[in-house]
Chains A and B, each alone.
Chain A
Amino acid sequence: DIQMTQSPSSLSAFVGDRVTITCRASQSIATYLNWYQQKPGKAPKLLIYAASSLESGFPPRFSGSGSGTDFTLTINSLQPEDFATYYCQQSYSTPALTFGGGTKVEIK
């Protein structure tokens, strides 16, 4: 099974900061990598698909990059509504899908 490791597991940042979250796959997954945003008490929402495509409805301060085993979610100029937990998910090994452990972004 492909394992997905996110780092850090949590971080604190100021409004306006640039935030970077990393997701590493245990083997190459090309660009079969998605990101989700989950706010407390709410369902996750698809944020980025295919490593770098921004889902409609999300602002362009969110961006995704990477291929192979290393991927990055970047939030430019963090806004109050961005404080949430972010998960990566691989679909290279479809039908088996795997989520990362999550990264909680908190207010500093």
Chain B
Amino acid sequence: QVQLQESGPGLVKPSETLSLTCTVSGSSVSGGYYWGWIRQPPGKGLEWIGYVFDDSVTTHYNSSLKSRVTISIDTSKKNFSLRLRSVTAADTAVYYCARLGVAGRGNWFGPWGQGTLVTVSP
């Protein structure tokens, strides 16, 4: 059973870089899946941030965040990471990692990590 777990600081100062890691257990990250990040501001809906393929080269980012985001993968460590630069209070959210299944019938996120709240504050 594939399980994902986010880790990283829960508090980041404005203008600094948010860094999170997602550790995968029960599966290799080299199985031909994409691995992604999604966030949810308090009381609001879901926003996809981006995802990375297990080749470590192929990445796709939400155009609204593309200039500030980097997602990378470490297949040897079975984890992938999110870096979001120059954060503001608007980046305060619960950040989820998830596997993105890719099939002829579409792409869907599952399973998901439990999520981690990151607050941007001085």
Cα(A1)–Cα(B47), bound, Å:
14
Residues of A58-93 at the interface with B, using a CB-CB cut-off of 8 Å, are 87, 89, 91-92
Interface size class of B (residues with CB under 8 A): 20 to 34
Q: Is chain B's binding surface mostly helix, strand, loop or mixed? A: strand
Evaluate contact between B115 and A43: CB separation under 8 angstroms. Answer: yes
Q: Flag the segment in A10-18, A19-27, A94-102 that touches B.
A: A94-102
Residue in A32, A36, A96, A102 whose beta carbon sits within 8 Å of that of B106 in the complex: A32
Q: Any chain A CB within 8 A of the CB of B78?
A: no
Cα(A55)–Cα(B112), bound, Å:
14
Most buried by B among A42, A92, A95: A95
What A residues does B110 contact at CB under 8 A? 45-46, 55
Which of A's residues lie within 8 Å of B, judged by CB? 1, 31-34, 36, 42-46, 49-50, 53, 55, 87, 89, 91-92, 94-102
Which of B's residues lie within 8 Å of A, judged by CB? 45-48, 51, 60, 62-63, 96, 101, 103, 105-115
Evaluate contact between B45 and A94: CB separation under 8 angstroms. Answer: no
What B residues does A97 contact at CB under 8 A? 48, 107
Cα(A24)–Cα(B51), bound, Å:
25
Q: Is chain A's binding surface mostly helix, strand, loop or mixed? A: loop
From known contacts A43-B112, A45-B110, infer whether A32 and B46 are also in contact, taking CB-CB under 8 Å: no
Most buried by A among B45, B46, B63, B108: B108
What B residues does A45 contact at CB under 8 A? 110-112
Cα(A96)–Cα(B36), bound, Å:
12
Evaluate contact between A87 and B46: CB separation under 8 angstroms. Answer: yes
Evaluate contact between A96 and B45: CB separation under 8 angstroms. Answer: no
- List 23 A-B residue pairs with CB atoms under 8 Å apart, sorted by A's residue number: A1-B63, A34-B108, A42-B114, A43-B115, A44-B109, A45-B112, A46-B109, A46-B110, A50-B103, A50-B105, A50-B106, A91-B108, A92-B106, A94-B106, A96-B60, A96-B63, A97-B107, A98-B48, A99-B45, A99-B46, A99-B48, A100-B45, A101-B45
